[in-house]
Amino acid sequence: MNALLRNSIGRNKNQTLCALTRTSGIVSTSSSTSTSTSSRLYHKNVVDHYEKPRNVGAFDKKDANVGTGLVGAPACGDVMKLQIRVDDDGNITDSCFKTFGCGSAIASSSVATEWVKGQHVDEATQIKNSEIANHLNLPPVKLHCSMLAEDAIKAAVKDVKEKQAKAKEAAAMAGGGGK
């Protein structure tokens, strides 16, 4: 028998009630209002990363070894902040995220933070949204969530590279390189 999982995904002014139903690794969310009913299926990987997101948090964005990528999707209102911490060789030693958005956006963020850890910053930028979408089995209507994750990774890498270049330049100037 399928178990019904109650989830406070949201209530709007019409008191939309949402529930998740687990069926063979697929989860269905149903919304019903007085005027409409909609349903969407989610793969077990989305549900796993939504219910138990990895690496939620924030680093000090002023740290020269921290890169921050802040991206958003105006069409749906999702906003994703992904941060990476790198060592002196450019290897990502840690990552975290904060996302305001749907379950697919949260799951995409969670997967992205897991995948970038241990990679060199240049390797991390090779992660494609299609890989995240395939891993999560995202439906076409949710592909923008994986695109946000890819964009956030690239923005975080760009940010940390710019910070490190400025720090290197400042160190050279302080060391007498600006005579």
Instruction: Give me the pLDDT at residue 37, please.
Output: 33
Q: What SS3 class is residue 146?
A: helix
Q: Is the pLDDT of residue 31 over 50?
A: no
Q: What are the residues whose beta carbons fall under 8 Å from the beta carbon of 52, sequence distance 6 or more?
A: none
Place of tokens 């060592």: 87
Using the structure block, give the residue that is written with the tokens 């302080």.
174
Higher pLDDT, 168 or 156: 156
- For the chain, the domains span 4-50, 53-169
Catalytic residue list = 76, 145
The continuous run of DSSP H or E covering 63 comes out as: none
Give the pLDDT confidence score for residue 124 in this predicted structure.
98
Cβ count within 10 A of residue 117: 16
Tokens 């379950």: give the residue.
103
Q: Where residue 76 falls among pLDDT bands split at 50, 70, 90?
A: confident
Across the range 45-60, mean pLDDT stands at: 92
Taking Cα atoms as reference points, which of 3, 53, 45 lies closest to residue 25?
Answer: 45
Q: What is the pLDDT of residues 133-167, one digit of tens each?
A: 999 999 999 999 999 999 999 999 999 999 999 98
Checking if the pLDDT of 8 tops 80, the result is no
In this structure, are residues 2 and 22 in contact, taking their beta carbons and an 8 Å threshold? yes
Question: pLDDT tens digits for 101-142?
Answer: 999 999 999 999 999 999 999 999 999 999 999 999 999 999
What does pTM read for this prediction? Answer: 0.75
Cα dihedral: 123, 127, 128, 130 (round 10): 140
What is the rounded average pLDDT for all residues in the chain? 80
Measured from the Cβ of residue 32, the count of other Cβ atoms closer than 10 Å reads 15
pLDDT of residue 9: 35
Cα 136 from Cα 119, distance rounded (Å):
21
User: Can you name the CATH fold of 53-169?
Assistant: Sufe protein. Chain: A (3.90.1010)
**What pLDDT is recorded for position 39?**
42
CA distance linking residue 83 with residue 89, whole number of Å = 17
